[in-house]
Amino acid sequence: MSIQTLMYIGGRLIKGAIVLLVIAVFNFFLIRAAPGDPAKVMAGEAGATDELFLQQLREQFGLDQPLYYQLWVYISNLVQFDMGITYRQQMPVFDLIMDRMPATLLLTGAAFLLSLLIGVLAGVVAAQKHKQWADSFITVAALIFYATPLFWLAMMAALFFSVYLNWLPSFGMETVGANLTGFDRFIDIMTHLILPAATLGLFFTAVYARMTRASMIETTRMDFVKTAIAKGMTPNRVTYRHVLRNALLPVVTLAGLQAGQLIGGAVLTETVFAWPGIGRLMFEALFQRDYNLLLGVFFISSAMVVLFNLITDVIYCVVDPRIELSK
């Protein structure tokens, strides 16, 4: 890796840190502006609602301090990688998020790879069969999956494949009480992963299919492709060596931007399928008014988006060597 590349990555990391700081401040005020009092939620769960107990809870978690002081404490701790303590679980926010992170990375990673592979393949087939029945079928199917609400698709998938056909488990990451180990546990997790990963990936599959199709059709009409055909290259070689490689540039850009956004979609998917990831953790924290946990999840999600954007820029240069990182 050249010094120029390292300087570019270092500059992007500094810019990313500034962006994350601005996002952290914005999220702090946004969450504080939402209705609800964490002290009342915790007091209600404890069965005590007297004002003295509420005041003690506010003092314990610093909720009685002025808003600017709470922001100062939050940012000061954040730059030291301290996200505070959760109100309900009484454990470090970072530890709780990291405990749920593997499940979310497994789900979103599987959904991302599945959607990218199937989407690009479908887009290539649609472009090669332009204005034929296969193109029409893929285009209509992509439009349907793109327009279908994710939560409805998740519930229908669970109802059909789990309740009606009884082919796949409908909730959780593992079979409760099975205590499986080794390869049996791996198969059990993969079986539970099929429905949520397929459901989460369908929307992005439709996006990548439509993007790949449109980009390939546009690239096919360019002069360098006509030149390659005139030189006598086989259709498959022209498609995969010249057309597809150039057509993938916008797909790579879109995939990089949406990779970090998969966590947002995972909130609904993890909630419907009871998948123990940070999306479901965010959903639970919202109802519990757990400010520290919400801010922690938002910050980690934002950091992943910034990281994926940087990785996308590097991959962009691998796909198209004409692009330089310094520019």
In whole angstroms, give the CA distance from residue 219 to residue 84. 51
Contact predicate 324/314, CB 8 Å: no
Residue 11 lies in a domain: no
Give per-residue pLDDT as tens, 80-108. 888 888 877 778 888 888 888 888 888 88
Cα–Cα distance measured from residue 261 to residue 302, given in angstroms and rounded to the nearest whole number: 9
In a domain, 43, yes or no: no
Any domain includes 77: no
Structure tokens at 191: 């079986």
Predicted confidence (pLDDT) at residue 326 exceeds the cutoff of 60: no
Query: Average pLDDT of the chain?
Result: 79
**Could you give the 3-state DSSP secondary structure of residue 148?**
coil
In a domain, 232, yes or no: yes
Contact assessment for residue 218 and residue 210, using Cβ atoms and an 8 Å cutoff: no
Please answer whether residues 238 and 228 qualify as being in contact, where contact means their C-beta atoms are separated by less than 8 angstroms: yes
Give the separation between CA 282 and CA 294, rounded to whole angstroms.
6
Domains of the chain: total: 1
pLDDT of residue 191 exceeding 70: yes
Q: Which of 317, 319, 321 is nearest to 8 (CA)?
A: 317
pLDDT at 40: 67
Assigned domain for 7 exists: no
Q: Other C-beta atoms within 10 Å of 241: how many?
A: 13
Count of C-beta atoms within a 10 Å radius of residue 26: 12
Q: Could you read off the pLDDT of 282-303 as tens digits, one per residue?
A: 888 877 777 888 888 888 888 8
Q: Is residue 10 part of a domain?
A: no
Domain of residue 126: give its range: 98-289+297-319
CATH code of the domain containing 202: 1.10.3720.10
Q: State the amino acid at position 172 in one-letter form.
A: G
Residue 14 is assigned to a structural domain of this protein:
no
